[in-house]
Structure 1
């Protein structure tokens, strides 16, 4: 049986308004302990992500809703989406939570996913998909293709367009995610150790994710910028870290 739990509820003191206590029926006690640990991470990371979201002002809704899919058949995954009202939803599968080794890793993954929303990646991805569909559709039309072929060309164009900057988006989310993780009081370097246990996608053409080594390097580089910001006596935020990095 699948259980989808909304963890924002009354457990968050910031902006979430889903209301109601966290359900516990049907949950393995070991999973419940991990969920409780995840809630503790959410309490600290979500307000920081929301603050950065409002500072960037790219998203209209910065009120994050965090949920967990506890279906054991679902693979380890975390992703960002929008509900019908445009509210950002961050979904973790229980399998992913089970694969993390500490709160730093949970915090980093959560910060990374919220960063996709803060940076407007879903909207930018949709724009790229539309552009790809239009270009290949026009090319097929000019080539005299039939409607079925044109539709297929548009579909392929959309898929290629959506993937065209996906690696860059992941690295951007790793950069901001590192800052949010640090601001929330967790260790991004310990959090990035999660990459060591992920299958390495390599540097594939139009791959959805960059190599794990590149992602870890982004975390290390961002931490150097954070240290420079701290050394200069400035508060750490996305804006001050970028300025420190030159």
Structure 2
């Protein structure tokens, strides 16, 4: 594992943020008031480095135990792009190496080590559960289905292209709530095995605007996520 202090990243997959965002970017709920991104203190940075040193080995161990042939060499980075909101996300580089990225604002906003460890475990879990390729498969299936239906109706090439785009978007979102709950569940295991309290860590959700249970929403209700963490933790 290498900790890279400064890195700008262009793509992301599953995320935890105080302004809800995802593989591209999603608008915050209309009622949410965006605040200026926080700046981490020296203590915040030291806390981040400490949590990385304890959570990362556990995440790698869980990855190797639960996958076959997956790249489990997590690269943990800080996304220091100017003005980035409080956010953490998982992606992969060109070689397929998993990257866990944290903005400076998130490092400043987490209230304790448990919250930071849980967010880190959650993002690692997205990779272990294979959510990026699964999301891509869902998007491709949706694009083929809706594009094919449009073609069968004799639609123009422009309409077919639009149907493909819409189908891909719907397909990508179809299981996103389940992916988040899967990441919460495995993130609970990683957090616990790294020596932190996942139930206390999941209190981070109280800082995130509750998305509710929207049709084709990208994240489940915060209450359901906290319930998942408590249930999994009780069984450990």
Q: With the length of structure 2 as denominator, give the TM-score of the two structures.
A: 0.82
- Do 2:110 and 2:116's aligned partners in 1 also have CA atoms closer than 8 Å? yes
- Partner SS for 1:202: coil
- The reply to whether residue 155 of structure 1 matches residue 165 of structure 2 is yes
Distance 2:173 2:68 in 1: 21
Distance 1:32 1:142 in 2: 61
Shift of 1:7: 4.7
- Do 1:59 and 1:120's aligned partners in 2 also have CA atoms closer than 8 Å? no
Distance 2:186 2:48 in 1: 20
- The reply to whether residue 132 of structure 1 matches residue 132 of structure 2 is no
Unaligned 5+ segments in structure 1 are 9-27, 227-246
Over 3 Å counting, the alpha-carbon distance change for 1:38 and 1:127 in structure 2 is same
- Do 2:40 and 2:108's aligned partners in 1 also have CA atoms closer than 8 Å? no
Q: Which residue of 1 aligns with 2:24?
A: none
After superposition, residues 173-188 of structure 1 pair within 5 angstroms as 173-188=183-198
Task: Identify which of structures 1 and 2 has the higher relative contact order when contacts are C-alpha pairs closer than 8 Å and 6+ apart.
Answer: 2
Distance 2:108 2:199 in 1: 19
Over 3 Å counting, the alpha-carbon distance change for 1:173 and 1:99 in structure 2 is same
- Partner SS for 1:159: helix
After superposition, residues 26-175 of structure 1 pair within 5 angstroms as 30-58=40-68, 60-175=70-185
Shift of 1:69: 1.5
Distance 1:199 1:84 in 2: 33
Over 3 Å counting, the alpha-carbon distance change for 1:90 and 1:30 in structure 2 is closer
Distance 1:110 1:59 in 2: 22
When you count helix as a share of all residues, which structure comes out higher? Answer: 1
Distance 1:58 1:129 in 2: 24
Name the Cα RMSD after superposition.
1.8
- Partner SS for 1:186: coil
Q: Which residue of 1 aligns with 2:212?
A: 202
Unaligned 5+ segments in structure 2 are 7-37
Q: Which residue of 2 aligns with 1:243?
A: none
1:103-136 CA distances to partner (integer Å, 9 max, x unpaired)?
A: 1000000000000000101110000000000000
After superposition, residues 1-40 of structure 1 pair within 5 angstroms as 6-7=4-5, 30-40=40-50
Distance 2:140 2:68 in 1: 20
- Do 1:174 and 1:219's aligned partners in 2 also have CA atoms closer than 8 Å? yes
- Do 2:115 and 2:202's aligned partners in 1 also have CA atoms closer than 8 Å? yes
